[in-house]
Structure 1
Amino acid sequence: MKISKIINNNLVHFYDENNVDCIAMGRGLGFGKKIGDEFGAMMVEKVYRIEDPIRTKQFSTLVKDIPLAHLEVANMIIDYAKSSLNTKLSDNIYISLVDHIDFALERIEQGIPFENKLLYEIKHYYTSEYLVGLEALNIVERELKIKLPEDEAGYIAIHLVEAEVDCTKPNYVQDVMNIIQSVMNIIKYHFSLELNPDTLAYERLLVHLRYFAGRVINQEQASICDDKFVARMKNNFPEETECTEKIRKYLKQNYDYDVSDDELIYLSVHIHRVLMSHKK
């Protein structure tokens, strides 16, 4: 492998066998080297193959001045997240999370902690990502002997969620949580019911709302039911349908989103299951 560009003593650019611009990381990999020099695979700890050339350039610029130890810890966290969440993460995670970890460590060293005002909601609505965030704190403490506050687990979870949906819209996660909370409140007050988060029906509703809220924010529609099925389901679930009509009105007023009949039917089914779980 030949060096095409030197980022710093530990990071270099090279082109792989498919002529894709990659970044290799390894201690001393770029030290004393010049463009065109060869380097062996034994020296490489990590290879970044970021498909988008713009993101590759952003990552190259970002990591130029980041301590290698911080980058190594971020890699461990990303690898753990990929295996634990069992889902594809956008290449942007290498930019957003590496930057966040480095900044968080810098703030702690300066004695400037950040409070995460969304921590409760993140724990509740993005439990899997939050648990990865907690393990990320353990990784940082084990590798760097620095203890980050629990708030940082919430911030890490936000970056993971955004990478799961490959979304770079500002405040995406906060907007999703606001929609979920608002929909839950509409259901709660319509039926005068305290929702039980420990039931399977509630968990299924929450998962559905996460994806539904994403479609609202991205102004996307799901259309998978025929008219006869829609009419039959509305007839079977009249009270649930009345509740979802309130949800439709709320989303139109606040997000200028037209909820399709298909979406309302699936919401009605999930709401019905939640209601049935409370009767058991």
Structure 2
Amino acid sequence: MYRIMKVLNNNGILVLDDQSGQEQILLGNGVGFGHRIGERMTRLPEGKRYELVKQKESALTRVNEIEPVYIEAAGRIIEEAEKVLGNLQHDILIPMADHIAMAASRIREHMEIPNPFLQDIRTLFEEEYTAAKNGVEILKSLTDLEFSEDEIGYITLHLHAGLAKENVAQSLETARLVNRCLGLIEEYMNKKLTADSLGYNRLVSHIRYMLARVRKGESANLDLEDYARHSFPKEYEAAAKVCQILEQEMKLHFPQEETGFLAIHIRRVMGI
């Protein structure tokens, strides 16, 4: 038996499964039409279900703080993104809706926040970025607001979090660390990287997976440390400095194999 806790609008309801105690949001055309708070249902109408993670505060408290149109928008973005990305964790619904609501408020007040990691997000999470770009069109149709490319980047992080089963803060930290690495490489090599080039994209991808390996306590399969140190001393020195700084910031050990592997990627990209 399900009990309606809130009718969001004609296209959404928040319900409680009396048996499991699980709170769910149901989205779909007309699912909320004609229903009222407290109404009990033996079976839910056809629609997209989003099971909400249990927290100290009830889902009703969180949902009440967000205008229904933004919850509906987030649901549509997730549904469309899943057609390309596959299944996403549905617990990103409320955080994404909350972010969209705040972004919409900033747009109306002409106080948009720039995204310093946009280029890295676009390169790191290419498929999620494309899905987020399509999602902005959904937002425009529902809110009549123009969301900037910076916001596409932030929505990308939410989609990636749902795909990688991590929170948005972790996705943002990955983008920040990649950006930090690229800046350090440019500084030590005294040469600017060409964004969107094949070599740049490969380097970004390598750094992303290097960070993932280190977080898991793994190391690169290939040990090219000696080869890189003797063949490309300048690139090796740059890679060693980068890994040393990352080790300090992340408080995780970077195996020597990673230094050699990174040095070779720096050599390929810089072409020195």
Q: Same fold (TM over 0.5)?
A: yes
Query: Structure 1 pair 163/80, CA: closer, same or farther in 2 (3 Å)?
Result: same
Contact 1:122 1:130 in 2 (8 A): no
SS at match of 2:157: helix
Aligned position for 1:261: 256
Aligned position for 1:45: 47
Distance 1:32 1:247 in 2: 57
Contact 1:123 1:154 in 2 (8 A): yes
1:95 CA drift (Å)? 2.0
Matched, 1:114 2:112: yes
Aligned position for 2:159: 160
Aligned position for 1:221: 217
Map 1:167-178 to 2 at 5 A: 167-168=166-167, 170=169, 172-178=170-176
The alignment yields a C-alpha RMSD, in angstroms, of 3.6
Aligned position for 2:61: 61
Aligned-partner residue type, residue 27 of structure 1: G
1:173 CA drift (Å)? 4.6
Identity of aligned residues (%): 21
Task: Name which of 195, 198, 206 aligns with 1:197.
Answer: 195
Matched, 1:93 2:89: no
Aligned-partner residue type, residue 207 of structure 1: S
Query: Structure 1 pair 193/122, CA: closer, same or farther in 2 (3 Å)?
Result: closer
Matched, 1:250 2:239: no
Contact 1:126 1:157 in 2 (8 A): no
Contact 1:14 1:24 in 2 (8 A): no
1:48 CA drift (Å)? 1.4
Superimposed CA distance per residue, residues 24-61 of structure 1 (whole angstroms, 9 cap, x where no aligned partner)? 342236416534x33453xx3321135x4449x75443
SS at match of 1:183: helix
Distance 1:45 1:124 in 2: 31
Aligned position for 1:206: 204
Unpaired runs of at least 5, structure 2: none
Contact 1:90 1:164 in 2 (8 A): yes
Matched, 1:134 2:130: no
Distance 1:46 1:233 in 2: 54
Query: Structure 1 pair 90/269, CA: closer, same or farther in 2 (3 Å)?
Result: farther
Aligned-partner residue type, residue 248 of structure 1: C
Map 1:20-31 to 2 at 5 A: 21=22, 22-25=24-27, 26-28=31-33, 30-31=35-36
SS at match of 2:5: strand
Aligned length: 263
Contact 1:244 1:264 in 2 (8 A): yes
SS at match of 1:11: strand
Distance 1:169 1:151 in 2: 15
Distance 2:243 2:86 in 1: 30
Contact 1:183 1:247 in 2 (8 A): yes
Unpaired runs of at least 5, structure 1: none
Contact 1:130 1:153 in 2 (8 A): yes
> Normalized against structure 2, the TM-score is what?
0.75
Aligned-partner residue type, residue 33 of structure 2: G
Superimposed CA distance per residue, residues 193-212 of structure 1 (whole angstroms, 9 cap, x where no aligned partner)? 33233432321110121233
